[in-house]
């Protein structure tokens, strides 16, 4: 009886069967935008709120699917983001849009600054596809709202699929960075089409 208890304890503590698998952690890291908008489309302060996502996507474990069955998703046990993807996307968007000059000031709610505009984001997809053509899928719904009259100035969904060189997760992280940069560039192009006159009129 005692021997069985000892064996069970060893198995539970990982002493039986070798060392446990190590954890791996990943972050998003976008390069600065190549150009800065001139003139700045939004005069005033733009607040980048934290994105929201479904329960699985917002977890730190990386999400994947093995085939075209889009209804069945899995997550890696030992491969995680350094923080919630919602926070990582918020941080990278804030830095990128600030560098691009989308507004006079681009901040997060933690700054407790009165904002003229709010940028909302929904992460619809953030997943690896592990089939014959490995790739990542990133889909974001981005919207800008005037805080003066609560009018939606821009609301669009952006989707990017980026192939990966192999099934290694490092190549997927590179693909995620490329996909997010591309989406933000498209978003900047759409936002820059909003004339300063139109924005001024919405705030009167």
What percentage of the chain carries pLDDT values higher than 70? 85
Looking at the domain assignment, is residue 70 inside a domain? yes
- The conformation of residue 194, written as its DSSP 8-state character, comes to S
Q: What is the largest CA-CA distance in the chain?
A: 83
**In this predicted model, what pLDDT tens digit does every residue of 53-90 receive, in sequence order?**
999 999 999 999 987 677 789 999 999 999 999 999 99
| CATH of residue 179 | 3.40.50.10610
Domain count, the chain: 1
Joined together, the tokens standing for residue 89 give 């996307």
Looking at the domain assignment, is residue 7 inside a domain? no
Residue with the bigger pLDDT between 43 and 142: it is 142
Looking at the domain assignment, is residue 111 inside a domain? yes
Looking at the domain assignment, is residue 171 inside a domain? yes
Joined together, the tokens standing for residue 71 give 């209804």
Q: Please list the residues that pair with 41 across neighbouring strands.
A: none
Residue range of the domain that includes 81: 22-202
Exposure of 158 in the CB half-sphere (CA atoms within 13 A) = 18
**In this predicted model, what pLDDT tens digit does every residue of 4-39 receive, in sequence order?**
343 344 344 444 455 667 899 999 999 999 889 988
Looking at the domain assignment, is residue 17 inside a domain? no
Helix and strand totals (H; E) in the chain? 4, 9
State how beta strands 117-129 and 135-146 pair: antiparallel
Looking at the domain assignment, is residue 13 inside a domain? no
pLDDT at 19: 65
Joined together, the tokens standing for residue 83 give 């923080």
List of E strands, 117-163: 117-129, 135-146, 152-163
CB within 8 Å of 157: residues ≥ 6 apart: 124, 139, 140, 141, 142
Looking at the domain assignment, is residue 28 inside a domain? yes
What's the predicted TM-score (pTM) here?
A: 0.85
Looking at the domain assignment, is residue 16 inside a domain? no
């Amino acid at each position: 009886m005692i021997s069985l208890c000892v064996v069970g304890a060893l198995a539970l503590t990982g002493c039986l069967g070798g060392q446990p698998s190590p954890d791996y952690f990943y972050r998003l890291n976008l390069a600065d935008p190549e150009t800065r908008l001139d003139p700045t489309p939004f005069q005033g302060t733009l607040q980048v709120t934290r994105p929201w996502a479904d329960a699985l996507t917002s977890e730190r474990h990386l999400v994947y699917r093995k085939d075209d069955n889009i209804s069945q998703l899995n997550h890696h046990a030992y491969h995680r983001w350094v923080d919630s993807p919602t926070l990582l996307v918020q941080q990278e968007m804030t830095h990128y849009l600030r560098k691009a000059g989308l507004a006079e000031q681009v901040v997060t709610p933690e700054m407790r600054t009165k904002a003229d505009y709010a940028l909302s984001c929904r992460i619809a997809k953030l997943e690896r596809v592990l089939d014959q053509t490995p790739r990542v899928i990133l889909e974001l719904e981005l919207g800008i709202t005037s805080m003066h009259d609560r009018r939606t100035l821009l609301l669009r969904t952006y989707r990017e699929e980026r192939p990966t060189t192999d099934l290694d997760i490092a190549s997927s992280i590179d693909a995620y960075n490329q996909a997010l940069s591309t989406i933000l560039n498209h978003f900047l192009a759409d936002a820059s089409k909003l004339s300063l006159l139109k924005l001024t009129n919405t705030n009167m």
